[in-house]
Amino acid sequence: MRRFVPGLCSVTLRTLSVDDVARLASECELHAIEWGADVHVRPGDVAARSRARAATAAAGCRVASYGSYLFAAGVPTGAEILATLDTAVELGAPNVRVWAGFGVEVGTDHYAALVNGLRFGCGEAGLRGLTLGLEFHGGTPTATVLGTLGLMDAVDAANLFTYWQPPYWRAPTAPESNAAEVIALSARLSHLHVYEWAGPEDRRPLAEGADRWLAVLAAATDARGWHGERVALLEFVTGDDPEALRRDAATLRGWLDSPA
């Protein structure tokens, strides 16, 4: 099933330094990193982006994405968008994760502003050779497949894609339901955020989600719209513990290396 590259979201290890995150990713054989914009590489921080890029290369990994928080708290200014995109370029990230705004409802002025802001961001990202990936997240217009597809259709940008992650904000969902969501998003799917939660903040060993993740990974291997490297990014392990990361990384690699 090795059509995904195993990777790591740096937000999983917010308390560790950039060097330690990259070193641990390498030790866990997680070959790609999504660097978060909240702690490790803040937008416009030249020293941080240089340090992260160098640490990633020294660890034998590659930068998969820049995990920004653009649009999470409303529509950013043009200057804020450009600062984030330029940071991604300097970091060596081909993709920027963005959000869809908490509490934004379809048909409102806030939604129209979101669409226009994303359209501007996609245009500027395209000039820099970047893709944007929407966070699939509760409380936002991308909390459902229909909402996600509707937003992407409204923005109408060829370089706008979406992530998928388990919808912990809903009642427990069956593996076949998760796989169906991935299939529905397949033409617009970029990366996966990989974790196993029994509920909000109830983090479980990834192996407990074997039925879910084997179904999702099988469904997502045929996703056809994304032409870059697709990464299964480990995120939010139990207790933010490096040992839990080692355990879950071994589980993920085992799934990805499976011939099924």
pLDDT in tens, 182-215: 999 999 999 999 999 887 778 999 999 999 999 9
Residue 144's pLDDT is what?
97
Residue 221's pLDDT is what?
78
pLDDT in tens, 121-172: 999 999 999 999 999 999 999 999 999 999 999 999 999 999 999 998 988 8
Beta bridge partners of 189: 162
Whether 52 and 23 have beta carbons less than 8 Å apart is answered as no
Binned at pLDDT 50, 70 and 90, residue 1 comes out as: very low
Residue 259's pLDDT is what?
66
User: What's the average model confidence in pLDDT over 11-17?
Assistant: 96
> Which domains are assigned to the chain?
5-257 (3.20.20.150)
| Average confidence score pLDDT of the chain | 95
Whether 104 and 141 have beta carbons less than 8 Å apart is answered as yes
Q: What span, in angstroms and rounded, lies between the C-alpha atoms of 41 and 23?
A: 16
Tokens of 155: 């923005």
How many residues does the structure list for the chain?
260
pLDDT in tens, 227-258: 888 999 999 999 999 999 999 999 999 999 97
User: What's the average model confidence in pLDDT over 32-38?
Assistant: 98
